[in-house]
Structure 1
C-alpha cells in the first residue's frame, strides 16, 4: 500500500472533475425528465387515455428511476468506500450515458404496443441504479480534497453541475419542441438522447486522471473486516434517516422541472418553447449563485443556509403554480426563477457538505448514498405523480400540488434543525466526533493486525 503522505490534495482538479462530470451526467438524467413531461405521454401510451392519465403514467416512468435508487445506493455506496470514489464515478458514467442513448433508440407504442413502455421502464431502472452512487462519490471526492474552510464552497459545484446539466438538456430540447408536432414525435425527441454518446466521451476524458483523496488512502492503509455498509447502518442510522427526510425537498425541484411544465402546457395550453425557458433561466441563475451560497454556508453554517433555502423553495412554489393558472408570463418567469434558481439553489449549495459531514471517512459514501437516495426516491417517485393526481383529470387544480410542496418543505426543514453544525470543524475532527465509543470498539475489534 502506498504511503498516505505521498498523496496530495488537489481541490481544483477534484472540483472541476466533479462539476463537469456531474453536469454531463445530469444532462442524461434531466433530458428524460423533460421528455417525460412533453413527449412520452403522447408516444409511449395508448391514445385512448385522457391527457391527465397519460401525463401521470409518463411521469411515473420518471419516478421508477428514483424508486430503484436506494438499491443502487446499497451497492455503489460501499464500493465507493472500499474501492474508491473515482471507481464509482467512472462506473456510473457509462451506466447513465448508455441508458440515455438506448432510450433514444426505442420504438414507440405505435410500433410495438405495450412492449414500448415496458422497455422504457426497464432502461429507466438501470439508469436509476447507475445514478444512485454518482453524487455521493463526487461529493466525497471533492469534500476530502478541499481545504477545511472551503468545503461547502467546493462541494457546491457538484450540485451546481446538476443545475448545468438541467440547463443544457432543457436548452437542447427547445429547438426540437418548436418543430412541427409530427417531426417532434417521430424523430426530434430522439436527438437529445443520442447526444449522450458525446457526453460519455467528454466526461471520461475529464475524470480518468483524477486521484483519490489522501484521506481515502489513510483509511485503506488499515484493513478492517467490517463492511462500510454494515458500519453505516449500525452506527449512523439516525443520520441516514435525517438525510432522507432533508432530501425530500428535492421533490419541490421535481415539481418545478417536470410537473409544472406538463401542468402549464397540457392543462392550461401554454406555449411549450416559452415554458421551457423558465427552467433555463432558473438554471442560469443557479450556475452563478450556487457557489456563492456555498461560500455563505462556509461563513454562517450549513444548517441555516439549507433551512432557509428549503423553506423558501417550498413557499414560493405556491404563487408560481398560481401564476401558471392565470397565464401571467412575467410572474411565471419571476416566480419560477426565485423558487428554483434562488431558494432551491440555496439549499442545493449547502446539502453536499451538510450531509457528507454527518459521517466519518470510512463510511462517507455509503451513508451519504443511502440517505440521499432514499429521500430522492421518495420525493422523485411520488412528487410529480402525486402533484399530477392532485391537479385533477383536467390538470387545472393548483392548490393541491401547492400544499404538497409545502409539506415537503416542512419535513426537510424540521429534519435539518435536528442536526449538529459541522462547519467549524476540520475533517479529522468530524471523523473523530462522528464515531461513538461503540463504533470505535467495533472497528478496532475488526481491524486486521499489520
Structure 2
C-alpha cells in the first residue's frame, strides 16, 4: 500500500487515485533562460523515479512537465544574445533535453510550452475577474486578490490572519495574472489589451487543458511552495470551485557551503559539467541516497562514493549475461523489502540499501561457487535497479564491461596477489592503496581476519 507525504496536510496519506489504476501527475518544469543545474537534476530524477514506479505498479500515468518559455529573465537573456524569444528558448530547450537525456530521465507524456496555452490563460483570467477574485489595477495589469481566497496560506503552512496582518496587500503582495506590455516587449492580444501572462497562471491553464478540474499529484522543488504553488492553488480552486490537487509533493533543496544553491547568488553547478565527470547512474544514486524531501549538502566525496557503488553493481551484473526481458522470482525477501521501502513515501535510501545487500550476496555466492544462487540474485538486482532508472545500458564505456574483465584479468590477479602479501606483512597502508586500485577496476574484496 503506497503512502505519500502530502505537503498540504503535512502527513503521510494512503495513495488513492481519482480514477482506478490511472494517475494524473504534474511537475513544474524549467524556466528556459539558462542551462539546467543540479537542483533540476535532483527534482527531475526523483519524479522520474515516481513515474517509473507507478508504471511498475501497473498504473496508466499521464505525466505533464511544463516549460516556462516567457518571463522577464528570458526576455532579458534573449536581448543580450541578440536572438528572438522563440529562437533563444528553442536553443535552451535543446540544451535541457540533452541534459535530461544524459541523466536517463524519461520524457514525460507531454511537455507543453506556456506560450501554447494563451487561450486557456485568458479564459481563466476572464472567469476570475467575473467572480471578483481578480481586478485590473491602475497600470492595466490584471491582479489576483488573495484576500478573496479563504484557504490562502494553507499550503505554505501560514495562519491567514497573521499572514494578512504582517503584509499590506498592494500589487506587490497580491500577484499578477496578466502583465500589460510595454511597446518593445513580446506580447499577445487580450480583452485587457496587449500583454503577457504572469508566472503562476500558466500552470493552472496547462492543468486545466490536460486534467480539467483536479489531478492526483502536483510536484516540484520546495522553493516553489511559496509563492508559486500557493498562488497556483488559489487561482485554480477559485476558477474550478473545487479541490485542485490531492497530493502535493516537494523535493528538498541542494545546499552548498551552508547556502541554498541559487542562480541569483551564483553558486550553481550545471548538469552539463557534472555529467563530464560522473556517469548518469552515479549521479542518480547520489541524489536518491537522501530522502527526497530533505536537503542535500553537495559533497564530491559522496558523489565518488556513489560512483564506486555503481561500479560494484555493474561488476555483479557482468558476472552473468543478464537478459532484460527475462522474468525473475517474485517471492524473494529482497523484493519485498524493496517495495516496502518504495511504498513508504518513496524511501529511495532504504530501497538502495536493498540493492547494496543484494550486491554483497551476489559476490559472496559467486565466491563460494554457488553460481545459480548468485545469478538469481543478479537478475533481482537488475530488475529492482531498473525500477529506479539504473542499468539503462548494461555496458557503458565508463563502467566495467564483461569483455574488459578478460583484458584486465592479469592486472587484477597481480594486484590481488600484491595485496595479500601486504596484508600478511601487516602493511595496512599499502594494502589500502591496492584495495582502492582494485575498487576502481570494479573489484570488491571481502577481507577475513588474518
TM range (shorter): under 0.3
Q: Which structure: greater strand fraction? A: 2
TM-score, reference length from structure 1: 0.23
Structure showing greater relative contact order (alpha-carbon pairs closer than 8 Å, 6 or more residues apart): 1
TM-score, reference length from structure 2: 0.23
